[in-house]
Amino acid sequence: MTLQRGDIVMTRIPHAGGTRGKKRPAVIIQADTYNAKLTHFIVAEITTNLAAASDPASFLVDISTPDGQATGLDQNSVVCCLFLATVAETGITKSWANSRLPCSPSSTRALRRYFTFRDSQFRVAK
């Protein structure tokens, strides 16, 4: 299966406590360089719980917009960059053909907010 960053897939997202989790749509966020080499993918979950839309590390997919329609999702949703998972290729059961999350300023901002590191956050262990 050839997947690229931005592709929307159906996969089981494990719960943070380690239990089995729930099958839901997710978006591939891993760089295409690694997608071509590895048999697992880093994904961000997609939820229809719109309460998370206001979090800076999440963003709304509004299906009334051209970008939202390009996703193939059937209702407004939130891509939540707070809950990332690594899933095996064998755990991906569906990929929406030609359904992609366009690289928009809001999606880029959400990922940058989640992955912001500062040198002061890292300390050398003694």
Per-residue model confidence (pLDDT) at position 67:
81
The DSSP bridge partners found for residue 95 are 9
pLDDT bracket for residue 126 (50, 70, 90):
low
Rg (CA), the chain: 15
Instruction: Give the model's pLDDT for residue 29.
Output: 86
pLDDT given for residue 35 in this prediction: 85
Mean pLDDT of the residues in the chain: 79
pLDDT in the model for residue 75: 92
Q: Which of 1-10, 43-52, 68-77, 109-118 is least confident?
A: 109-118
Give me the pLDDT at residue 122, please. 47
61 touches 50 (CB < 8 A): no
- Residue 125 tokens read as 């262990």
Q: What is the pLDDT of residue 115?
A: 59
pLDDT score at 15: 76
E-state strands within 29-124:
40-47, 58-61, 77-88, 92-100
Q: What is the dihedral of CA 12, 83, 60, 91, to 10 degrees?
A: -20
List the domain boundaries for the chain.
7-116
CATH number of 7-116: 2.30.30.110
* Residue 56, phi then psi, degrees to nearest 5: -60, -20
How many CA atoms within 13 Å lie on the side-chain side of 119? Answer: 0
Predicted confidence band at 100 (pLDDT cuts at 50, 70, 90)? low
Q: Buried b vs exposed e over 99-117: b needs ≥16 C-beta within 10 Å?
A: bbbeeeeebeebbeebeee
pLDDT digits (tens, 9 = 90+) for 40-96: 999 999 999 999 888 888 888 888 988 888 888 889 999 988 878 999 999 998 776
